[in-house]
Amino acid sequence: MIITIDGPAGSGKSAAALQLARKLGIPQLDTGAMYRAVALDALEQHILTDPDRIAQRCRLLSLRFDFSRSPALLLLNDRDVSDLLRQPSVTQVTYVAADNPWVREELVRQQRQIGKEQGSLVTEGRDQGTIVFPGADFKFYLNAHPEERARRRIAQLEAKGIPAELNDVLDQIVKRDMRDQARAVGPLARPDDALDIDTTDLTLDQTVDAMIAVVRVKAPMTAIH
């Protein structure tokens, strides 16, 4: 069973995908982490302004998920980079990977391969229901008001001891939305056949319950933990 969750930054995708995957007892794939890892590598190699080299390295890098962990651990060339991936310095440059058509081609290929290997997956990103898994069993599109998404981002940053200002974060979120939607290849887009969930006034449990209700109707035999 493949379940895709797409939506903008701060819409609650990651937390919902993780909780849904745990309830269904299947792996969760954080595709944003893959773009972040390619950008982190470009940052470390000082090749941020060289799209050809970023694409070349992307094909040679080893991006491996350890699905025995929940959330799955992403190993970049066998190195645990989980703490680095969400640092603002990496978030700011992730567009060098996300906007690069060759990087997208390679990561889309790897994501489909992971889908084949795992068989079942809750996968979240911007293009999962549109490009990567157009034939997915269930597609959800999450969204929330920008102010609420900014507040959630601040809470995440503060939990890591990173101070943040509402107006700055809101500004970044609006700019990232525009960049994600305007991307020539693999833009943030709502799949035509996705179910919309506005999470602005929903708790995480309510969001996941709404998804489970849909899965139960179409696949009543699914085990839910």
Q: How far is the CB of 131 from ligand DC (least distance, A)?
A: 8
* 18 in Cβ contact with 152 (< 8 Å): no
- Asked whether position 126 contacts ligand DC by CB under 6 A, the answer is yes
94: contact with ligand DC by CB under 6 A: yes
User: For the window 160-199, what string marks contact with ligand DC as x by the rule CB under 6 A?
Assistant: ----------------x---x-----x-------------
Instruction: Choose which of 23, 36, 139, 152 interacts with ligand DC (CB under 6 A).
Output: 36
Per CB under 6 A, does 31 bind ligand DC?
Answer: yes
Question: Judged by CB under 6 A, does residue 4 bind ligand DC?
Answer: no
Closest CB to ligand DC among residues 9, 142: 9
If binding is defined by CB under 6 A, does position 106 make contact with ligand DC?
A: no
Alpha-carbon distances, residue 11 vs 98, 206, 225 (angstroms): 18, 14, 24
As a whole number of angstroms, the distance between CA 8 and CA 144 comes to 8
Q: Does 146 engage in binding with ligand DC (CB under 6 A)? A: no
Give the three-state DSSP class for 161.
coil
For residue 89, the minimal CB distance to ligand DC (Å) is 13
Q: How far is the CB of 216 from ligand DC (least distance, A)?
A: 27
Q: What Cα–Cα distance (Å) separates residue 152 from each residue in 1, 117, 137, 156, 158?
A: 30, 33, 29, 6, 10
How far, rounded to the nearest angstrom, does the alpha carbon of residue 85 sit from its chain's CA centroid?
12
Q: How far apart are CA 22 and CA 10, in angstroms?
A: 20
| Residue 31 near residue 108, CB atoms below 8 Å | no
Binding interface with ligand DC (CB under 6 A): 9, 31-32, 35-36, 94, 98, 125-127, 176, 180, 186
